[in-house]
Structure 1
Amino acid sequence: MDMRPDPFVPPAPLPRTVPPSRLEIIRIILRNPLELWGEPSYTLPWIRTNFFGQRTLIVNDPGLIKHVLVDNANNYRMSDVRQLVLRPILRDGLLTAEGPVWKRSRKAVAPIFTPRHAQGFAGQMLRQSEDYARKYEGAGEAGAIFDISTDMTELTFAILADTLFSGEIVTSSGHFADDVNELLHRMGRVDPMDLMRAPSWVPRVTRIGGQKVLEKFRAIVRNTMDMRLAKMKADRSSAPEDFLTLLLEQAGPDGLTKEEIEDNILTFIGAGHETTARALAWTLYCVSNSPHIREGMEEEIDAVLATGAKPVEWLDMMPQTRAAFEEALRLYPPAPSINRAAISDDSWTSPKGERVELEAGVTVLVMPWTLHRHELHWDRPRAYMPERFLPENRGSIGRFQFLPFGAGPRVCIGATFALQEAVIALAVLMHRYRFDSTDQTNPWPVQKLTTQPQNGLPMRVTPRTISTKA
């Protein structure tokens, strides 16, 4: 008899059973696009629809996803709506650039994110996690309430600042997490004018006030660049060999323009840590509601740390911890949609002989949010079950049914970095503390570029009874 408790089913919008009206679609998208999707998006391999006059194909078939994102990726550009939302923020950063500009940027940043290089950051990730964990030392035996969503944003920013910028980001305040939330709230939502494909110069009412916080971020980037350039000019040997120096050395007629460098720095400061932060917070929340999973993770973490293993080895030595994080990535993918548009007519035929036409101009939506909860691909898709990702089980998960980092030429360049960072952070935090939900912990996932918990994630943090420190 299986004595394991029923798995935790964390909060999420239920599939809609009645198609919304045109006006309702606008209201839902303004409020929370995750609430838009109906039952067919969670049960069918693909769906054709007409979305505000735009032919749209919603794709949940792994074979068709592979075709669009990998096999014939050159035939698919970024969709107009996606670019209307992101380009005002990131301009020609790695997430939004296309064509030769994207190729130059990808080539410039690739060396810093090779798996071997990313592993070299493990010591800094450990140090920043340990430093941040001291924040909770004053909680006392009874514990105290902290907003874990904000805390994980602060922690991952500290890690990013140390690993990629050697701690030399010129911030203007100590409230960086609040600034990120403000930027995403003001600038990271789809506006009705975007749905109507209005030109970028048409004002977006929902983004009023966003330009001020965006300019604040731009000023941080420019000041950071100027400070490092001055150091490099005074004494090149005194400048750290990090991401920032690497990018600045790419400036020139055969490399990146100053504006492209600024855009890429802003991309990594504003978005490079945000996705991992959200997934870490969701992980701690789901684990807090799954005591048997938490106990297994604690035993695993304590055992590995007791061996004195180096942090670079933890990702491989902590399969339960990694699985808990990846299951949170499945249920709450930080990037809930991947949007493309066909450049030329295309087609794909399924193994069963079903032919799908992808006409030039059609918008293709690959939705990790629905794909990761799809009834064709997952057992109990709404339940938090990290055992799916344990080494003995993960072979049954198809490459194109789990896309937290995308796929193809534009796969997230920082995937290895993020997984290593997450396991190290979870190990340090869960070795020292327990994170518990309270009556105040009632998160609701909302899409604002990333999948965020509405109103934060207040949780009680209490010291664990063991005395050994990570």
Structure 2
Amino acid sequence: MDTKPQPFVPPHPVPRTHIPTRLEVVRTVMRNPLELWGEPSYTKTHITARFLNETTLICNHPELIRHVLVDNQKNYRMARVRQLILRPILRDGLLTAEGETWRRGRKAMAPVFTPRHINGFADMMRSRADTFLECYRDGAGTVRDISHDMTELTYEILAYTLFSDEVVTDGVDFAEDVDRLLSTMGRVDPLDLLKAPEWFPRIQRLRGKATLAKFRKVVRDTMDARREKMRTDANAVRNDFLALLLNAEGPDGLDADEIEDNLITFIGAGHETTARALGWTLYLLANAPHERALLEAEIAKVLADDPPPVEWLEKMPKTRAAFEEAMRLYPPAPSINRMAVEDEIFTFKDGTSVEIKAGTTVLVMPWVLHRHRLYWDNPNAFQPSRFWPENRGAIDRFQYLPFGAGPRICIGATFALQEAVIALALMLNEFRFEPTPGLAPWPVQKLTVQAQNGLPMRIVRR
């Protein structure tokens, strides 16, 4: 007799069943863009719509997504609304730069994210995660906001691995400040939708300027301190991410502003996506005891042999799968926005086609794509087995995009996967994370997909 329980279906917006008015669109985007998408978004291969005299194409078919992000990516630049949101924060960082500026930045950072370098981070990730767990060992049985904790943990790992613990923070609370920054400057403003001039002030972004200024000061102070150390005690300087960028400064590399922008991108946002995915993973496992037991057994078996942490990602496929399934249900980056530069007609393999005019906003929506009924069985349920090694071959490369695709795929994807598996293994080996009464977190898009009121959970020793 099959006693496997029904999979856990976590909270999610119900698709709209009517076409929203302009006012409803603006209100929904302001409140939570995830609530905007209607029934066709989860059932159609592509949708063309008009809003405020602008054409938008929503791409759900893997063939079309591949065409936009890979095969003809030169015809698709960053969408204007996306840049209006992100450029005030990141300027010419890797997420927002285009053209030659982006190419210089990507080339400068690539050496840090080679397999050799990332493998070298594994012991450091383990050490820092184990140190972080002291706060749980000292307070087992208490309720903590796991979303806040995961932001702190991933920042600690980032600061240790990429910056040799030399970020000049001056008492900055990164978890709170990142949340404040994304809640103010990291959201769509109605004036963006109305195409108001960029110089026209966005009220909610004005509220985030002080926090952004604080982050900018942290980065400048960190750069200055490292430059001084490189000048006076070069032998003591580790060849980390910070040193790599500073050594790339010059007429043939990056200028000082571009280095600052990329450091802001990694310090302020680079750890945020992994933090959110870790928080959602722990929440999902807390509500799926059967899945959690599979991970606990896998982790215990691997750690009993005490292999080096660089091998954990390969040796813990079920742990990796749970993290990947969490990123499917709650993709850290829920939208990929492009704009067509020139007219073209794309033809599918079945002979049908779609016309894409220059100026069309092209949306690839991992939030929608990852729950699309054409591509996923029981799409709203937490089923990590989708990503077990024997099953993952059935998933098309372009139906699952937690890290994007094409030339602009996330440069830190392997770093994030390794970090997540190491952190999960250490946490789940010692502790269980239990839901608090009434915990039903509502997913909200604030650049990343966050739990509206955090993830308060009880931590107990196993």
Same fold (TM over 0.5): yes
TM superposition shift of 1:52: 2.1
Aligned counterpart, 1:166: 164
Aligned counterpart, 1:405: 403
TM superposition shift of 1:391: 0.2
TM superposition shift of 1:401: 0.2
Aligned counterpart, 2:137: 137
TM superposition shift of 1:440: 4.7
TM superposition shift of 1:450: 0.2
Q: Do the aligned partners of 1:113 and 1:414 also contact (CA within 8 Å) in 2?
A: yes
- Residues 167-316 of structure 1 correspond to what in structure 2 (within 5 A)? 167-316=165-314
Aligned counterpart, 1:467: none
Q: Do the aligned partners of 2:22 and 2:51 also contact (CA within 8 Å) in 1?
A: no
Return the alpha-carbon distance in structure 2 between the equivalents of residues 70 and 347 of structure 1.
16
Secondary structure at the residue paired with 1:121?
helix
Q: Do the aligned partners of 1:92 and 1:101 also contact (CA within 8 Å) in 2?
A: yes
Pick from 341, 364, 386 the counterpart of residue 384 of structure 2. 386
Q: Tell me, yes or no, if structure 1 residue 124 matches structure 2 residue 124.
A: yes
Pick from 152, 155, 164 the counterpart of residue 154 of structure 1. 152
Secondary structure at the residue paired with 1:92?
coil
Return the alpha-carbon distance in structure 2 between the equivalents of residues 100 and 199 of structure 1.
25
Aligned counterpart, 2:30: 30
Secondary structure at the residue paired with 1:261?
helix
Return the alpha-carbon distance in structure 1 between the equivalents of residues 220 and 8 of structure 2.
45
TM superposition shift of 1:174: 4.8
Aligned counterpart, 1:11: 11
Aligned counterpart, 1:377: 375
Q: Do the aligned partners of 2:48 and 2:55 also contact (CA within 8 Å) in 1?
A: yes
Return the alpha-carbon distance in structure 2 between the equivalents of residues 347 and 70 of structure 1.
16
Secondary structure at the residue paired with 1:29?
helix
Deviations 1:211-244 (A, max 9, x none): 1100000000000000000000112222111000
Aligned counterpart, 2:430: 432
Deviations 1:28-57 (A, max 9, x none): 111000000000000000000012221100
Residue type of the alignment partner of 1:82: R
- Residues 356-375 of structure 1 correspond to what in structure 2 (within 5 A)? 356-375=354-373
TM superposition shift of 1:3: 2.1
Deviations 1:320-346 (A, max 9, x none): 100000000000000000000011112
Deviations 1:357-410 (A, max 9, x none): 111111100000000000000000000000000000000000000000000000
Residue type of the alignment partner of 1:297: L
Return the alpha-carbon distance in structure 1 between the equivalents of residues 123 and 172 of structure 2.
24
Residue type of the alignment partner of 2:229: K
Deviations 1:105-145 (A, max 9, x none): 000001101122111100010001100111111234xx110
Aligned counterpart, 1:468: none
Return the alpha-carbon distance in structure 2 between the equivalents of residues 263 and 158 of structure 1.
20
TM superposition shift of 1:173: 1.5
Shift >4 Å, 4+ stretches: none
Secondary structure at the residue paired with 1:181?
helix
Q: Do the aligned partners of 1:80 and 1:197 also contact (CA within 8 Å) in 2?
A: no
Return the alpha-carbon distance in structure 2 between the equivalents of residues 208 and 260 of structure 1.
23
Secondary structure at the residue paired with 1:292?
helix
- Residues 413-452 of structure 1 correspond to what in structure 2 (within 5 A)? 413-452=411-450
Count of residue pairs brought into register by the alignment: 462
Secondary structure at the residue paired with 1:391?
coil
- Residues 40-55 of structure 1 correspond to what in structure 2 (within 5 A)? 40-55=40-55
TM superposition shift of 1:348: 1.2
Q: Which runs of 5+ in 1 are unaligned?
A: 465-470
Q: Do the aligned partners of 1:440 and 1:458 also contact (CA within 8 Å) in 2?
A: no
Q: Percent same amino acid at aligned positions?
A: 62
Return the alpha-carbon distance in structure 2 between the equivalents of residues 197 and 126 of structure 1.
47
Aligned counterpart, 2:87: 87
Q: Do the aligned partners of 2:436 and 2:457 also contact (CA within 8 Å) in 1?
A: yes
Return the alpha-carbon distance in structure 1 between the equivalents of residues 359 and 33 of structure 2.
23
Residue type of the alignment partner of 2:169: T
Q: Which runs of 5+ in 2 are unaligned?
A: none
Deviations 1:250-293 (A, max 9, x none): 11111101000000000000111000000000000000000011
Q: Do the aligned partners of 1:345 and 1:360 also contact (CA within 8 Å) in 2?
A: yes
TM superposition shift of 1:206: 2.0
TM-score (norm 2): 0.99
Return the alpha-carbon distance in structure 1 between the equivalents of residues 383 and 411 of structure 2.
27
Secondary structure at the residue paired with 1:269?
helix
Aligned residues: CA RMSD: 0.8
Moved more, 248-257 or 230-239: 230-239
Return the alpha-carbon distance in structure 2 between the equivalents of residues 152 and 440 of structure 1.
21
Secondary structure at the residue paired with 1:301?
helix
Return the alpha-carbon distance in structure 2 between the equivalents of residues 421 and 204 of structure 1.
36
Aligned counterpart, 2:319: 321
TM superposition shift of 1:208: 2.5
Secondary structure at the residue paired with 1:434?
strand
